[in-house]
Structure 1
Amino acid sequence: MRLGATLLVLVLVVVLGWGAGLLLWTQSRIEHVDALSEAANTPGTTYLIAGSDSRGGETVDSDGTEGARTDTIMLLHKAPGGNSYLISLPRDTLVDIPGKGGYKLNAAYAFGGAPLLVETVEQFTGLTVDHYVEVGFDGVAQVV
């Protein structure tokens, strides 16, 4: 009986230690960006998901355009009632970018990074972005 209890405690310590180590490792691999605005909250939870052509600091200039761009922009909204909606925002959608004027949506990221993209999407959709997730090209390459 005593051997079984000791073995059970040992297994619990190993499993919990592995889980905590995995959590710390994954958190260390995530780059946190201060992109959210101070806009008034809207009901539900909204995620802005952006796929950028960023390659870990390298400049992408094959077509002469400087800076990173977002080619994939999606909004995931979980309504208070429990329904979730995933909406793709076409990168070429003409929007009013705060402080810049009328441009394509993905230009907001090129002009001001994640904070300006969040502000532009909030202004365009009327939803407050609660979470921002960005996947760069180098992240996709590492997965593949």
Structure 2
Amino acid sequence: MRNEADSVNDQSWAMQTKLAAGRFGWRAAGLAAAVFTLLGAAHVLFNPFCWRFDTAELWPGVMILTSLVGALLGLRRVGPLEAGAGALAFLPGAWLAVVALQATLGDAAPRDPGVADQGVTALAVIAACAAGSIRSLTALRRSAVT
């Protein structure tokens, strides 16, 4: 879009096109944030059940689920930046679930979400890479068809 805007003489249209090309997709980021907030809350809710079995597979499972969610977001034309920014909502969603469980269950509730704070950055990178890969593949498929 920027190359097209640089090649025309209409300055107002060129400025609007450049602004549209650099616009951050707040709606898409909000959708991604809502999905990852729910994923963080589900992680906290299912964590006690996984402690009974084998928790070593819980975090890799979350990362795999994050890549699948990122790919689905990419299919919905959510950009990699928006998917990565939305994935940062995983940790606040997990902490909100911990606080809600502590308010309802008291001492029987978990004390932390069971996620390292730096793990969320890994989830953001995974979601961004998955969304970007799917968007690239769909763009290649569309260009091959036409």
Is TM more than 0.5 here? no
Normalized per residue, the structure richer in strand is 1
Please, what TM-score do these two structures have when normalized by structure 2?
Answer: 0.28
